[in-house]
Structure 1
Amino acid sequence: MESGAIARRRYVTKASLDHFLRSGAAVSEVFEGNMLAGVVFLTIMRAGVQHLNLNPGPGGPGEDGVYDDAMRRPVSVMSVANFLGLSYETTRRHVSVLIERGYCVRVGARGVMVPASVVRGPLLERLEEASYSATTQFLRTLRRGPDDLLG
């Protein structure tokens, strides 16, 4: 591989890691220092609408970009644990805390879901602000990089 390509790859890797760490710090802050609970929450939230994002069609998100609860699918604690590579018990404990705090709801015997009211609420507003800030900083870094990586 040519040295310029290696330098670009390393630059992007460093910028990506900075973005990841800034985003992780924001999740940790919003979830009162418990980054893992935040990651479990985000996994539940995204998994519940993954089928809608992969197959866009009629009945999309509302004007604010949020899907109604009727369109969301509950996810099992086991599927979250498997996806994150965590033990079931660790994941279950975090899910229990999320339910206690009203961030998730239990649906049926084994499923959980992040309701649209939470997605529209102050918790996600804080995460969105932090994510937007981290992402715009990431994009600015890429623009300043070698060969203007964003074109």
Structure 2
Amino acid sequence: MARLGGDYTLRTMIAVAAGLDHDYALSVVYIAILQANLAPLTEDPALAARYAGLDAVMPEDLRRPISVHALAGSLHMPYETTRRCVGRLIEKGFVKRVSRSGILTCADKLTEPGQKRLVEQQYQDTLRLVGQLKRGGIDLEGA
């Protein structure tokens, strides 16, 4: 199972990094911001169902901003490295500062054709992972 998880993670990182000048540190920071912003989905099944479609982008007012300090802590990265990565993501238009301490992914960036292709690829990769797990005897129904 670890091999499958590693393969899935690596495919994700390669795909995300391709849109960020193949900068893997920047990619990790971007994914972490996106995951933090979408945390309300994991806490509310109805909200998760509403934004489950491949074309569904959760509105910014429903997303949870994350501070650079919290982001650095969650990634166990130095604060300055994280701050510089966030600055570069802001310059590239992937994220924006919405308050003194809050960072959000940009909704308009998430709807660009390249990002849509990335979401579709992630969906296919997830289906592939689920299939591999099932073939490996992992019971996903009881999970």
Tell me what 2:5 maps to. Answer: 16
Q: Given the alignment of the two structures, is residue 26 of structure 1 paired with residue 15 of structure 2, yes or no?
A: yes
Within the candidate set 49, 70, 73, 1:79 is matched to: 70
Contiguous gaps of at least 5 residues in structure 1: 1-11
- Deviation of residue 41 (structure 1)? 1.1
Contiguous gaps of at least 5 residues in structure 2: none
- Deviation per CA, 1:68-89: give whole Å up to 9, x if none: 1222232100111000010110
RMSD: 2.5
Secondary structure of the corresponding residue to residue 113 of structure 1: strand
* Change in CA separation of 1:49 and 1:13 when aligned onto 2, cut-off 3 Å: closer
TM-score when scaled to structure 2? 0.80
Report the residue type matching 1:138 in the other structure: L
The within-5 A match list for 1:69-108 is: 69-108=60-99
TM-score when scaled to structure 1? 0.76
The within-5 A match list for 1:2-151 is: 12-56=1-45, 61=51, 64-145=55-136, 147=137, 149=139
Are the equivalent residues in 2 in contact too, given 1:15–1:138 (CA < 8 A)? yes
Are the equivalent residues in 1 in contact too, given 2:33–2:66 (CA < 8 A)? yes
- The count of corresponding residues between Structure 1 and Structure 2 is 138
- Deviation of residue 32 (structure 1)? 1.9
- Which runs of at least 4 in structure 1 moved beyond 6 Å after TM superposition? none
Report the residue type matching 2:111 in the other structure: R
The percentage of counterpart residues that share the same residue type is 33
- Deviation of residue 134 (structure 1)? 2.0
